[in-house]
Each structure stands twice: as C-alpha cells, then as structure tokens.
Amino acid sequence: MYLKKRGSFLPPPGCSDLFPYRPYQCPPEPPGPPGPVIIPNIIVMPTVQRYFYIANSDIQAPASIPASQFTNDDGELAAKFPDLGQNSYSNLYINGMLQEGSLYSISTSVLTINPKGTTIFSGTPIALEIVQFSARIIP
Amino acid sequence: MAIVKPFVASRRFTGVAGSGTGTGATFSIAATEFTNDVGASATAFPASFAYYNLYINAMIQTADTSSVTTTAITIPDGDVLDPATPIVVEFVVT
C-alpha cells in the first residue's frame, strides 16, 4: 500500500481512509509502459602488428632474437613485442613461408626459434605477425 | 625498410676430378677438397639446400650423374675423367 498525503477530507478514488488525520492508504500504481530496449553493438576489432628481421648469421641451433633487433610496420626498431594475452595469436614467416607453431616461442622481449636440424641462412627474412583482438561496445 | 624479399643464394664449390677417391660407382670427391666462393677450403657442403647443379668441365650434368652428402659428392665412374677436369658444384640455398 502506498501512502498519499491528505489534501482533502475525501480520499482519492481507490484509496482507503483508515485513520483520519493520517495519509490515505492507496493501492500501488500500475507500472509505466516499457521503454525502448537498447542492445549495444559489439564490434570485434583485430589489430595486426608485424615485425621484421633479417638473419645476420646462419641459424642452426635454437636461437633467441631480441625484439629490439626487429623493425616494426613503420620500419623503425621495435622496443618490445606486444604482450600476447588470451586474445592474441602470432604467425612466424621464415623466408616468406609460414612456420609451424612448435618451431618458435615469443615473449615481449625475445623470439626464440628452433630450426630443428635445418639451417636458416644469413640473409633470410624472418617476419613475425601478431594479431590482437579487442571488443568495442557501441551503445 | 625496403620491401622484404625471399632469400635465395648460391654456394659454389670448385675442385678437380683428380681429388676424388674410389673407382667406378664409389668414386667421390670429399667436400674438403673443394674451395668455396671466397677461395677458402670448404669444410662441408650445405646441409640444407633447395637443389644443386654439378658442372663437369663447365658442362651442366643431369641429376643421375651425382649425389651429394654434406661431406662428399659421389660421381659414379668419375674416375675416368682426366685429373685436371674442373668440377663445380653449385648449391642453391633458400
């Protein structure tokens, strides 16, 4: 029950007047009409960053190449690789060929390649592609 | 940075037929008997290469003329060659 302030001696329609000199007791008012339902647009946005390095010596054993020796998409030396969280993946291209994932691992500071018995000759371009996804909500 | 291009290069090894050992099917020339592109003694042939060409007396040879390992090239019946015959093995690496 809702209480309504007394304005006159007669209670408003639907309200009871149980106690004089006290507010009327009224039934709850019906809810208003439903408003428009807002469903936000969610856009998944991929961003790609590429890093390039040219081997300056033959690579036969597992080798670590610091991120700082790579150039980025702007042709400038990279400081670090982006942090690969749960919403990212990477591709490694050696001499233009996509490589299997078990051949390498990356951290923000270094790329480690295990050539597994073959030789990556000096002069071979090594390209690392990192794709990150983020979600943007547009109301 | 310029456009990234794939890496392709050749590794040439020069020697003479007289450096070979064995006769008939087993005639082979050790990699260490060759000199490399910079004129130094070779230590081994490339372990990883796309393909190779063998030139005997400047003539390119068919694939069944030879086989290679990292340590030697086998040229069956190559012992009939004059010892001064130049042998060039060109490996293409990528």
Q: Spell out the domain ranges in chain A.
A: 1-34, 41-138
Question: Smallest CA–CA separation between A139 and chain B, in Å?
Answer: 41
Backbone angles phi, psi at A69, to 5 degrees: -95, 0
Q: What are the residues facing A92 on neighbouring strands? A: A128
Strand, helix or coil at A69? helix
Q: Rounded to whole angstroms, how far apart are CA atoms A128 and A118?
A: 19
Residue B2 counted as domain residue: no
Q: Is the CB of residue A42 less than 8 Å from the CB of residue A136? A: yes
- B46 to A119: CB separation less than 8 angstroms, yes or no: yes
Please provide the size of chain B in residues: 94
Q: Is B38 near chain A, with CB under 8 Å? A: no
pTM comes to 0.72
pLDDT at A6: 57
- Say which of B6, B9, B47 has its CB closest to residue A125: B6
User: Residue B42 is part of which domain span?
Assistant: 9-93
Residue B82 counted as domain residue: yes
Residue B3 counted as domain residue: no
Q: Is the dihedral of CA B28, B30, B31, B36 positive or negative?
A: negative
pLDDT at A33: 86
The gap from C-alpha B86 to its chain's centroid, in whole angstroms, comes to 11
Q: Is the CB of residue B29 less than 8 Å from the CB of residue B73? A: yes
Backbone angles phi, psi at B4, to 5 degrees: -80, 125
Cα distance between the two ends of chain B: 21
Residue B49 counted as domain residue: yes
Q: What are the residues facing A123 on neighbouring strands? A: none
pLDDT at B2: 76
Q: Rounded to whole angstroms, how far apart are CA atoms B41 and B19?
A: 13
Closest CA to A91 of A101, A80, A82: A101
- Say which of A52, A118, A124 has its CB closest to residue B7: A124
| Cα-based angle B8, B9, B15 (whole degrees, multiple of 5) | 150
**Complex confidence, ipTM:** 0.73
Residue B62 counted as domain residue: yes
What tens digit of pLDDT does each residue of A91-108 get? 999 999 999 999 999 999
Low-confidence ranges of chain A (pLDDT < 70): 1-12, 17-24
Residue B1 counted as domain residue: no
Q: Is the dihedral of CA B17, B22, B23, B26 positive or negative?
A: negative
Q: In chain A, which residues have their Cβ closer than 8 Å to the Cβ of B93?
A: 119, 121
Strand, helix or coil at A136? strand
Q: Which residues lie closer than 8 Å to B29 by C-beta, 6 or more apart?
A: B15, B17, B19, B20, B21, B72, B73, B75, B78, B87
Residue B18 counted as domain residue: yes
Any idea of the CA torsion for B85, B90, A122, A112, to the nearest 10 degrees?
-120
Residue B52 counted as domain residue: yes
- A118 to B48: CB separation less than 8 angstroms, yes or no: yes
Low-confidence ranges of chain B (pLDDT < 50): none
Question: Smallest CA–CA separation between B89 and chain A, in Å?
Answer: 18
pLDDT at A28: 80
What tens digit of pLDDT does each residue of A69-96 get? 999 999 999 999 998 888 999 999 999 9
**How many structural domains compose chain B?**
1
- Say which of A96, A119, A124 has its CB closest to residue B47: A119
Question: Smallest CA–CA separation between A118 and chain B, in Å?
Answer: 6
Secondary-structure class of domain A41-138 per CATH: mainly beta
pLDDT at A18: 65
pLDDT at A121: 92
